[in-house]
Structure 1
Amino acid sequence: MKRIIIVLILVGTLGLTAWTLLDNKKEVEAKVYKPDADLKVGVRTAVAELRNLSEETQFLGSFLPNREVEIRPQAGGQITQLPIEEGQFIGTNRLIAKLDDEQLRYQVEALQVTLEGYQNDVRRYEALVKGDATPAINLERAQLNIRATEAQIKQLKKQIANTTVSAPFSGIVTQKLVEKGSVVSVGSPIAKITDISSLKLVVDVPEKAINQFRVGQSLPIETEVYPNVRFTGRITMIGAEGDAAHNYPVQITVSNSGANPLKAGMYGSIANLNKLKTQTLAVPRQAIMGSTKAPQVYVVENGKAMLKPVEIGTTTNQYYEITKGLKAGDQVVTSGQINLQNGTLVHAQ
């Protein structure tokens, strides 16, 4: 008897659960949104039309100085003169620094006295050799001593010349690394000179565009600091080797302007207008759906959005060339595709 009661309770419980689930399903289905088949979806459209496709690509880079050098003396010693300041313009061969050369001059003076003594010896030996009063070897030794002393004097004079440090070219002192009275060693930097009479704009150009440039080509240059001024530069170098991202350095040399002076480190850009094709069927890039291997577009026909496969060719920043699947005058959807299915009623906004 108890078993029968338990079975009846289980059956009743299962039946109640099933009825509850069925009732809940009806309530859920009643709440689920069911799209109105006659409701039109708002979209934006464009017309597929023939266009002269061209692409203007901007390449950004930084200006580098025409020349820049760290001044390093070829002699060591204490700086006795340093007539430069940072930001100062100096001309070619202008004095940058003078090192103490007093000890070297003393050595030259001593050697000149020694040289005079050897010259007197030569004159005496020449007279004695003629009279066979002394061996000729003494005369030869005196002559060799003269040559050795003259060589030492030349070496010291070269060292004295190295104590005068001059500018190798005209430019601006961009760094002053020592002060008057400092003791420097051979090769230690004392200043930096930068020549910005002309500058080099270096931009990285991707592999697909590098063949559009050639050495000697003139290009317009724009800068952020002078947005309304366009400079003209000339390509002076195209890199023979790219980086890991397949970008190649292109160097454009531009003369500096007194009215709109440029400085090293400023940004500059070049625009390269690449005429791709003339009179080809094109649609805006926003119209293309899917991948470039299987592109599709929604075409509005009789108020409905019809999904069609297409084939694409040349691309620019704004348009895709359509080689198959559309004809001129077709109205394609450029915005709102996420709300569409094949055959959805639409109206252009």
Structure 2
Amino acid sequence: MNKIVKYILIGVLVIGALWAALFFIKSNSKSAVTYETQQPFMADIEKKTVATGKVIPQDEVEIKPQISGIIDEILLEEGVKVKAGDLIAVIKVVPNEQSLYQAQGRVKNAQLAVNNTKIEYERNKTLFDKGVISSQDFNNLQLSYNQAEQELKNANADYQIIRRGSIGGSAAANTNIRATVSGTILEIPVKEGDQVIQANNFNDGTTIATIADLGKMIFEGMVDEGEVGKLQVGTPLKITLGALEGTELDAKLKFIAPKGIEETGAVQFKIEGDVEVTDDVFIRAGYSANASIVLEKKEDVLVIPEALLQFDKSTNKPYVELAVGAEADQKFERKDIEIGISDGVNVEILSGLTEEDKVKQWNKTEPIKKGEEEEGADGEETEE
């Protein structure tokens, strides 16, 4: 019995030794990580920011009625180009009963005054012809008669305007809604039968149509407070439209808001830029757009890919690792550097490197094998 146990123990030890040997061989059979190098090079570099916003007409004019009433007829449609003076719609007047009654009363009073002064005028004219009264007295009576007739005309005109919206035969009737500027009709928010009111001290009035010149467009967007201080009026912009892929328009910054607006915890500043609209591109009002703005630009400077940078954990200063000796030796040493602007891909080198230096590239040249994925979570190998 003791011999059997002894043989079992010996067998277990032999198997364990073989397993340990195989594990050791497998662990040490992994190929060494080989790092490639890159050299700094000369290039142009730009630091950009992107402002999100929309493209809108420079001026939008709202057409409002001169009198309250009901839309009787709409003659044009949205999207139609118009000239100043073109008829857009016609309003049917629904007079206020109290105002209409008062206007009728003024007409009757004016008619009574005319009848009375007419009798006096005709009676005194006979006396004047006989030489009974002086010319001055007759002239005064004639003036009173003429004034009474004019007052009757004015009262009749007021009555017609209140009842129908215009005087019969007038070419500039208040009921005719005409374009005040040339452009494209963007919107007609009313329809036939809608009631509209004129502008007054307590109401802006009903908008019959909105007109704008689509040949004069501006970009309106928002910029973060960290970048607004680097902007200047006149800075060129590149406008890309979400609705028109591959279309890029030139623009110039013309306005930077002096006051910011807080949105989701960040302060944003409104900017505007004049867009150069070309004849081959039709831009609709309200297109969403992005404006690319160059904050800083340097030409022919020494740069390296930003992926080659490392940052010291204690000082947060940048450094790279340079190859020492032959590249096959895979020996590197740390080199502190000073960097300038970055475009997100390349970064400017102010000092610490030359074009002859070979900078360590941190990505592995071999794909990660299955079984090494868990080790990869601990970070890449770093030699200092």
Question: What TM-score, normalized to structure 1?
Answer: 0.67
- Aligned letter for 2:380? N
Shift of 1:41: 1.8
Separation in 1, partners of 2:25, 2:261: 55
SS state at 1:73 partner: coil
Structure 1 equivalent of residue 79 of structure 2:
87
**Counterpart of 2:346?**
319
Say whether the 8 Å CA contact 1:59–1:203 is kept in structure 2.
yes
Match of 1:299 among 300, 317, 322: 322
- Which sections of structure 1, spanning at least 5 residues, go unmatched? 1-19, 344-349
SS at match of 2:71: strand
Q: Does 1:235 align with 2:253?
A: yes
1:49–1:329 Cα contact (<8 Å) kept: no
Q: Which segment is superposed worse, 226-235 or 86-95?
A: 226-235
Higher strand share: 1
Q: How does 1:1-349 map to 2 (within 5 A)?
A: 31=23, 40-55=32-47, 57-101=49-93, 111=106, 114-122=109-117, 150=154, 153=157, 157=161, 160=166, 161-186=173-198, 187-210=205-228, 213-216=231-234, 219=237, 221-223=239-241, 231-244=249-262, 245-273=266-294, 276-277=297-298, 280-290=301-311, 293-302=316-325, 303-336=330-363, 338-342=379-383
TM-superposed deviation, 1:96: 1.9
Structure 2 residues not aligned, in runs of 5+: 1-11, 125-132, 167-172, 199-204, 365-378
Instruction: Report deviation, 1:285.
Output: 0.6
- Pick which of 100-109 and 255-264 moved more: 100-109
Return the offset for 1:204.
2.8
Distance 1:34 1:122 in 2: 129
Residue aligning to 1:7 = none
In 1, are the aligned partners of 2:47 and 2:341 still within 8 Å (CA)? no
Contact 1:111 1:149 in 2 (8 A): no
**Conserved 8 A contact 2:45-2:298:** yes
| Structure 1 residue 189, shift from structure 2 partner | 4.0
Q: Distance between the aligned counterparts of 2:19 and 2:152, measured in 1? A: 116
Distance 1:190 1:83, change over 3 A: same
Deviation at residue 275 of structure 1 after TM alignment = 5.0
Contact 1:284 1:334 survives alignment (8 Å): no
Q: Distance in 1 between matches of 2:104 and 2:234?
A: 57
Deviations 1:11-48 (A, max 9, x none): xxxxxxxxx9xx98996897479975995423343213
Q: What's the offset of the Cα at 1:98?
A: 1.6
| Distance in structure 2 (CA, Å) of the matches to 1:195 and 1:173 | 9
Q: Percent identity?
A: 21
User: Aligned partners of 1:149, 1:57: CA distance in 2, in Å?
Assistant: 68
Pairwise CA RMSD of aligned residues?
4.7
What is the deviation of 1:206? 3.7
Instruction: Quickly say closer, same or farther: Cα 1:313–1:275, change in 2 above 3 A.
Output: closer
How far apart are residue 287 of structure 1 and its match?
A: 0.7
Shift of 1:83: 0.9
Which residue number corresponds to residue 10 of structure 1?
none
Q: Give the total of aligned pairs.
A: 314
- Which deviates the most, 168-177 or 210-219? 210-219
Give the residue type in structure 2 aligned to 1:98: V
Question: What SS class does the counterpart of residue 54 from structure 2 fall into?
Answer: strand
Which is further off, 106-115 or 80-89? Answer: 106-115
Give the conservation status (yes or no) of the 8 Å contact 1:226–1:260: no
Choose 224-233 or 70-79, whichever is displaced more: 224-233
Q: Does the aligned pair in 2 maintain the 1:61–1:268 contact within 8 Å?
A: yes
Question: Residue type matched to 2:319 in 1?
Answer: Q
- Following superposition, the deviation at residue 82 of structure 1 comes to 1.8
TM-aligned CA distance change 1:116 to 1:25, over 3 Å: farther
Deviations 1:195-223 (A, max 9, x none): 31311112333445445544455555454
1: CA distance between counterparts of 2:342 and 2:316?
A: 14
Tell me how far apart the structure 2 counterparts of residues 184 and 54 of structure 1 sit (CA, whole Å): 55
